């Protein structure tokens, strides 16, 4: 990969085929104006219309971007990298046509956003909550919270924290809660690393854990009525399809990154060519649907699409890499089926920069 490609800091989130970036970025805690993203022409593929875009920061020139989450109101949260300085990155939120630079302070990465416009994130050391229009607050519960990856419309927050030598997941009822729920690895798994990535409004949690094979795999869990300790339920890995240009590719790992109120989850898998491909996963039926951004291209034999979030309207967000290895954000909306208002592509009717998003121990989870 080029040294100037857009990269998301490897702060415990998603697997990436390049090394960890130590990013130092600082902005004053003052309101920042909105600006339109750099938007490409819409492309329809796989039952979705993709809008590919990048954020243009207030200072510097961005080299691509990563959209890391999406709200039920269609807002995304994400990150860019300065083209002149790969250690400088900028967080943003909004729609592709109206993006706001976030006042996240030094080294933080925006990962999740809810309908109120509240954003959560982290830097692998401190997790944060940024209320819409407010000032960034470091999460003090749980102690050792290193990243917050998801927030729902009820204000529930999920992420990862350190506990001795372990790195379990957590659920907070709110950013100000003094108690929390610990999510441990599935039964029989000997590793001590689990990563809670998203939570829907019913309390269904998704994420990934390091398995006994040393690779990461998806899990689900349900938020309990009262804070306590719960165990993740492993999700069966996808049986990956043949992909043009990747003959003989075999499955390596899977990360589930977001979920909506219909129980439809999204994420991506990595294969033996080190390419990464997006998917939708129905938590009720166990069915996978594979989907890449149509603008994705090979760079040095590797192509990447990651789907990082999904909302209740079926819109998905994420990023892909182009022929230069540069990452670009996307927001994709389902195309209605003929004669129906129901979205196509993943069965809603059935249920009612690059950092190649993180190897989030050896896998730097």
Establish if 356 belongs to a structural domain. no
Residue 36 has pLDDT above 80, yes or no: no
Establish if 9 belongs to a structural domain. no
- 279: domain CATH number? 2.120.10
Establish if 88 belongs to a structural domain. yes
Establish if 93 belongs to a structural domain. yes
Establish if 13 belongs to a structural domain. no
Structure tokens at 116: 């109120």
The string of pLDDT tens digits covering residues 97-154 is: 999 999 887 678 999 999 999 999 999 999 999 999 999 999 999 999 999 999 999 9
Query: Which alpha helices (DSSP H) does the chain contain, by range?
Result: none
Domain tally, the chain: 1
The string of pLDDT tens digits covering residues 156-214 is: 999 999 999 999 999 999 999 999 999 999 999 999 899 999 999 999 999 999 999 99
SS (H, E, C) 42-109: CEEECCEEEEEEECCCCCCCEEEEEEEEECCCCCEEEEEEECCEEEEEEEEEEECCEEEECCCCCCCE
Integer angstrom CA distances of residue 82 from 62, 65, 276, 322:
5, 10, 24, 17
Establish if 237 belongs to a structural domain. yes
Establish if 318 belongs to a structural domain. yes
pTM for the model? 0.86
Quote the CA–CA distance of 258 and 310 in Å, as a whole number: 6
Mean pLDDT, the chain, integer:
84
Establish if 3 belongs to a structural domain. no
What is the span of the domain harbouring residue 273? Answer: 34-351
Cβ-count burial of 3 within 10 angstroms (0-12 exposed, 13-18 middle, 19+ buried)? exposed
Structure tokens at 280: 């939708």
């Amino acid at each position: 990969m080029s040294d100037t490609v857009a990269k998301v800091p490897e702060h415990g989130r998603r697997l990436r085929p390049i090394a960890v970036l130590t990013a130092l970025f600082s902005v004053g805690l003052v309101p920042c104006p909105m600006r339109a993203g750099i938007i490409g022409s819409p492309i329809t593929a796989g039952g979705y219309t993709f809008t590919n875009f990048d954020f243009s920061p207030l200072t510097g020139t961005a080299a691509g971007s990563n959209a890391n989450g999406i709200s039920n109101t269609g807002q995304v949260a994400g990150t860019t990298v300065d083209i002149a300085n790969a250690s400088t990155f900028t967080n943003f939120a909004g729609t592709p046509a109206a993006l706001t630079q976030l006042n996240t302070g030094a080294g933080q990465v925006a990962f999740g956003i809810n309908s109120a416009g509240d954003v959560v994130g982290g830097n692998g050391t401190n997790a944060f909550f940024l209320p819409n229009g407010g000032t960034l607050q470091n999460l003090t519960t749980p102690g050792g919270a290193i990243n917050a990856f998801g927030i729902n419309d009820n204000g529930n927050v999920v992420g990862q924290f350190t506990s001795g030598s372990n790195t379990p997941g957590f659920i907070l009822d709110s950013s100000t809660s003094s108690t929390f729920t610990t999510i441990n690895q599935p039964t029989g798994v000997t590793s001590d690393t689990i990563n809670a990535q998203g939570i829907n409004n019913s309390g269904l949690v998704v994420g990934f854990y390091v398995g006994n094979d040393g690779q990461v795999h998806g899990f689900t869990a349900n938020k309990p009525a009262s804070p306590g300790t719960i165990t993740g339920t492993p999700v069966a890995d996808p049986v990956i399809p043949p992909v043009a240009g990747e003959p003989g590719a075999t499955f390596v790992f899977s990360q589930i990154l977001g979920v909506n109120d219909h129980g439809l989850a999204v994420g991506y898998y990595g294969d033996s060519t080190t390419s990464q491909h997006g998917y939708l996963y129905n938590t009720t039926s166990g069915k996978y649907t594979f989907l890449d951004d149509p603008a994705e291209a090979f760079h040095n034999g590797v192509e990447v699409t990651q789907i990082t979030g999904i909302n209740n309207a079926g819109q998905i967000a994420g990023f892909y890499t182009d022929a230069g290895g540069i990452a670009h954000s996307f927001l994709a909306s389902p195309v209605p089926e003929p004669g129906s208002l129901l979205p196509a592509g993943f069965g809603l009717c059935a249920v009612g920069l690059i950092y190649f998003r993180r190897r989030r121990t050896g896998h730097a989870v």
